[in-house]
Structure 1
Amino acid sequence: MRTTRSQELVDSIIELIDRRRLRAGDPLPPEPRLMEEFGVARNSVREALRTLQALGIVEIRHGYGTFVGDASMAALSPSLLFRTRTRSRDDLRGLSDLLEVRQILETELACRAVGDGKLLAELGECVDRMADPATAAAADRRFHELIGEAAGNELALELIRLFWDVYRQTESLIGAPTSRPEGLVAKHEDILAAIAGGDAAAIGQAVSRHFDEIRRRIEAG
């Protein structure tokens, strides 16, 4: 019963934020006002605010008050990381699921990026930087971010970043990459060429090949 009431208060505060059309950075009513608004004790309000803080929905600034947060997907990183690690201990299922969702998302976003000349030039610059081991990882990440940005879907872009970060933190489960640096360049050149050609089927195949090496490491594990 306590858990249900705590969740109800969390939901009520979210509804209050929506009802008052508060945006990221706007202040929430002080604790006494929230206590009065919902008819609950101070400890209940504080517990609910801590829950919302963990989700990135509110930001508690000690000495200043509580403010609406930006609810970034980064707040989900610990739970997704935990889920991927624990479900990958025996059969790497968690990592395999993460890879599959990431491929589905990036294939669709790459298809939406067709016809964007500026994007193609920026992607080409990323591919060039991948040839240098010192900048390869950053260029690889930026390549995929650019595709997300071009699609104009903020949530999808945040998910790309989230999946990237979680994968990098769990990659040790399947060992070091087996492909050579030039292989990284070639895979991204294929994606770039498919986007430039505007062929959805070719894009799907290129994105799938991009993940083939990781799939083989998962299967070998």
Structure 2
Amino acid sequence: MILFYNLPSNFSKGVSSVAQRTHQTLASQIARRIHERIRSEELQPGDALGTELGLAEEFGVSRNMVREAIGRLRALGIVRSRQRVGLVVGHTDPIRLFEQGLPLFLSGESANLYELSKLRYALEIGAVNLAVRHASDEQINELSALADRMAEMVRQGKEEETDPLEEQFHSLILEGTGSQLLSRMHVVVSRYFAEISTRVSRYGRTEAPDALEHQRIAEAFRRRDAETVRALLEHHLRLILDQFESEEQGARRVSI
């Protein structure tokens, strides 16, 4: 006897959704296995990985499945294609990945801007000892010159025009650490601080700007006084951090 059941109208959609998730999970597993091979065999950029067809046969999956897995690895720079060779190991640049992912995270909402301001705070405060110890005299002279220009612009009532100089000043501090990784990461973060500066000026500063603030930081660098640099820099960055923390708390109260 054959029994017939009345299935819900969305049954086929549910099956399709499950199949799609299974497909995506399998593609992720294949991508991880390829990545693990690169690491376990210590393959270097440019080393051959084979072809999509060969990998499909090896893993016992369809070529489309391998193509999707390779697409994920290619997006991360882990794998690339080379004419007449096939798939080869790529050169992964963590800062490039960070730069590509940051715009997706930074939607413009105050909560995300608050997270970004905390990242900048952690980067700069954490780098103080290295920067004070390793910054060259030339870099310190440049810090002083930038600080003098900003102080003069503030005295002339041109505070809004100091943003590019401010970005250069803080980026130069990270350059002083001698770490390319720290410096490049800070450059990426700084690019998105234009939006933060706009929001700060829109809502008003929590404290009046100090025309001598950057000059004091530069002078402390010249004395190689890490404690003073940290204290001044922390106070300077807290102005922005406190602004967004206040906005975030206000937004939470409104949502409740």
State the alpha-carbon separation in 1 of the partners of residues 58 and 213 from structure 2.
56
- Aligned pairs for 1:45-194 (under 5 A) are 45-59=66-80, 66=87, 67-85=89-107, 88=109, 92-115=110-133, 116-118=135-137, 119-127=139-147, 137-169=163-195, 171-175=197-201, 186-194=212-220
State the alpha-carbon separation in 1 of the partners of residues 120 and 224 from structure 2.
21
1:29 aligns to 2:50 (yes or no)? yes
State the alpha-carbon separation in 2 of the partners of residues 184 and 59 from structure 1.
51
**Which letter does structure 1 place at the counterpart of 2:169?**
F
Query: Does the residue aligned with 1:113 lie in a helix, a strand or coil?
Result: helix
Query: Does the residue aligned with 1:8 lie in a helix, a strand or coil?
Result: helix
| 2:31/2:69 contact within 8 Å kept | yes
Listed as ranges, the gaps of 5+ residues in structure 2 are: 1-21, 251-256
| 1:32-87 Cα distance to aligned partner (Å, 9 max, x none) | 3433443332222221222223333334578885550333323234543333326x
**Which letter does structure 2 place at the counterpart of 1:80?**
L
Indicate the percent of aligned positions where both proteins have the same amino acid: 27
1:6 aligns to 2:27 (yes or no)? yes
Query: Does the residue aligned with 1:198 lie in a helix, a strand or coil?
Result: coil
TM-score, normalised relative to structure 1 = 0.71
**Which letter does structure 2 place at the counterpart of 1:151?**
T
Taking a change above 3 Å as real, the CA distance of residues 215 and 198 of structure 1, as seen in their structure-2 partners, is same
User: Larger Rg: 1 or 2?
Assistant: 2
Listed as ranges, the gaps of 5+ residues in structure 1 are: none
TM-score, normalised relative to structure 2 = 0.63
State the alpha-carbon separation in 2 of the partners of residues 217 and 126 from structure 1.
25
Moved over 6 A (4+): 61-64
RMSD of equivalent CA atoms: 3.7
Alignment length (residue pairs)? 214
